[in-house]
Amino acid sequence: MILWMILKVALKSLMANKLRSILAMLGIIIGVGAVIAMLAIGAGTQASVMGRISAMGTNLLVVRPGQRGTGGVMSGTQQNMTLDDATALLTQVRGIRAIAPVVSGNGQLKYFGKNARATVMGTSITYMPIRAFEIERGEMFTEQDVERMARVAVIGPVTAENLFGASDPIGQTMKVNGINFRVVGLIKSKGDQGYFNPDDQLIVPYTTAMKQLFGLDYLREIDIQAKEDADLTQLQADALAVLRKRHRLQPGTPDDVNIRNQADLLETANEVSKKFTVLLGAIAGISLLVGGIGIMNIMLVTVTERTREIGIRKAIGAKDRDILNQFLIEALVMSALGGLLGVGMGVGSAEILGRFTDFATIVKPYSIFLALGFSAAVGIFFGYYPATRAAKLDPIECLRYE
């Protein structure tokens, strides 16, 4: 029998019982919709986490002093990393493209009558490319500024706004903890990252910060940018070995610094999103199962209701296979239609969530095909039993059926 005739009959019988068909499809609609919406949240969350991680800079390794303490009791950060450590890393470890020593402290800023507070980072000019900062206007301070211990600063856009309002900060002189600093550049915005806002800070030469602002001898961190082809794990081990040697740590004693690697963060994020996807898959499976049972139920009712029709069709020459196909296609049409409506609902609710809540949502095309494929498979799987029952009915009994 011609396929479109079967489709036409299937659609007509669905249309004849609109409410019932929609109720039967509801399980699939909700299941598919939920799967698509949740996968969209998953993909959106993953994308924003990845975005934050790569905004921190590429191929980044961060060396920080270890925690001080004994027997598991932490009592603050050790003071043990020096500028010489940073220089040693750069000269002794292979695969490093650039290095930036970092000190930091709180700055009380003052410009005419206005006050503001911001984090002050003291570092070298390499900090900008390592941490993926760009200069919006003006320029970065220079190597000479670092050597001369110049009182110059580049400032984040939020700090600039707080302190200077609408007027141009470049070339202005402000006071940082009572010392005059000239603003030479404005940093391009990266956006708030939750735990820390990179737009609300001040970057000054580390020499100036250590000697003039905070009186520090030790570094808060050393940022390392690895070369593109470098093996980060190896580099990390080498850096650790160099520092242990310099800090005269005996073999067997715990490290006094810890090195975080951006790949670790990415891996963790991927791990989490994988688990999230498995969880969503399980929810999808359950809701589609429930939807499939709904369709099987209504198909069994349909077969019983249309016993006479089955008898007539068999009398005029329908084979068992023709009847099987007809009811199977009806179940398939119902589940595929439910799947389509579910896709609409899922995409719509992902859109609404993305627009009106804090969830970032991205509807990936694969999730639509996945959901549609699954709902069609559910239709065939759960339609098969009712269709077989219909096909096996005895034509004489069907014709006598009241």
Partner 1 sequence: MIDAKHLVKEYHLGGQTVRALNNVSVKIDAGELVAIRGPSGSGKSTLMAILGCLDYPDAGEYWLAGEDVAGLSKNRLAEIRNQRIGFVFQTFHLLPRMSALENVELPLHYAARHDARERALKALDIVGLSDRTHHEPNQLSGGQRQRVAIARAIVTDPAIILADEPTGALDSRTGEEILALFKTLNDQGRTIIVVTHDPAVARHCRREIYLMDGRVAEPESGRMGEWEMMQ
Cβ 325 to partner 1 shortest distance, Å: 11
Can you tell me the distance from the alpha carbon of 57 to that of 132, in angstroms, rounded to the nearest whole number? 5
Q: Does 301 bind partner 1 (CB under 8 A)?
A: no
Q: Does 3 bind partner 1 (CB under 8 A)?
A: no
Task: Name residue, tokens 């096909």.
Answer: 391
Nearer to partner 1, 198 or 311 (CB): 311
Give yes or no for a contact between 375 and 347, defined as CB atoms under 8 angstroms apart: no
Options 5, 237, 279, 283; binder of partner 1; rule CB under 8 A: 5
Can you tell me the distance from the alpha carbon of 221 to that of 198, in angstroms, rounded to the nearest whole number? 16
Q: Does 220 bind partner 1 (CB under 8 A)?
A: no
Give yes or no for a contact between 401 and 358, defined as CB atoms under 8 angstroms apart: no
Nearer to partner 1, 125 or 399 (CB): 399
**CA separation, residue 297 to residues 27, 113, 291, 301 (Å):** 12, 76, 10, 7
Nearer to partner 1, 199 or 309 (CB): 309
**Interface segment toward partner 1; rule CB under 8 A; list 6-14, 98-106, 123-131, 339-347:** 6-14
**CA separation, residue 265 to residues 60, 68, 78, 129, 259 (Å):** 11, 24, 24, 20, 12
Name the residue among 358, 377, 369, 336 with its Cα closest to residue 35: 369
Can you tell me the distance from the alpha carbon of 136 to that of 185, in angstroms, rounded to the nearest whole number? 7
Per-residue contact string for residues 319-348; x = within reach of partner 1 by CB under 8 A: xxxx--------------------------
DSSP states of 265-318: HHHHHHHHHHHHHHHHHHHHHHHHHHHHHHHHHHHHHHHHHTHHHHHHHHHTT-
Options 2, 19, 73, 166; binder of partner 1; rule CB under 8 A: 2
Q: Does 308 bind partner 1 (CB under 8 A)?
A: yes
Can you tell me the distance from the alpha carbon of 335 to that of 333, in angstroms, rounded to the nearest whole number? 6
Options 1, 50, 88, 216; binder of partner 1; rule CB under 8 A: 1
Cβ 15 to partner 1 shortest distance, Å: 9
DSSP states of 35-84: HHHHHHHHHHHHHHHHHHHHHT-SSEEEEEEPEEEETTEEEEE-----HH
Cβ 395 to partner 1 shortest distance, Å: 5
What residues numbered 358-387 form the site for partner 1, per CB under 8 A?
none
Q: Does 132 bind partner 1 (CB under 8 A)?
A: no
Give yes or no for a contact between 255 and 66, defined as CB atoms under 8 angstroms apart: yes
Could you give the 3-state DSSP secondary structure of residue 147? helix
Options 13, 104, 159, 225; binder of partner 1; rule CB under 8 A: 13
Q: Does 315 bind partner 1 (CB under 8 A)?
A: yes
Options 55, 136, 395, 401; binder of partner 1; rule CB under 8 A: 395
Could you give the 3-state DSSP secondary structure of residue 242? helix
Q: Does 314 bind partner 1 (CB under 8 A)?
A: yes
The size of the interface with partner 1 (CB under 8 A), counted in residues, is 24
Cβ 6 to partner 1 shortest distance, Å: 9
Cβ 4 to partner 1 shortest distance, Å: 10
Q: Does 396 bind partner 1 (CB under 8 A)?
A: yes
Cβ 394 to partner 1 shortest distance, Å: 8
Q: Does 64 bind partner 1 (CB under 8 A)?
A: no
- Residues of this chain that interact with partner 1 (CB under 8 A) are 1-2, 5, 9, 12-13, 16, 308-309, 311-322, 395-396, 399
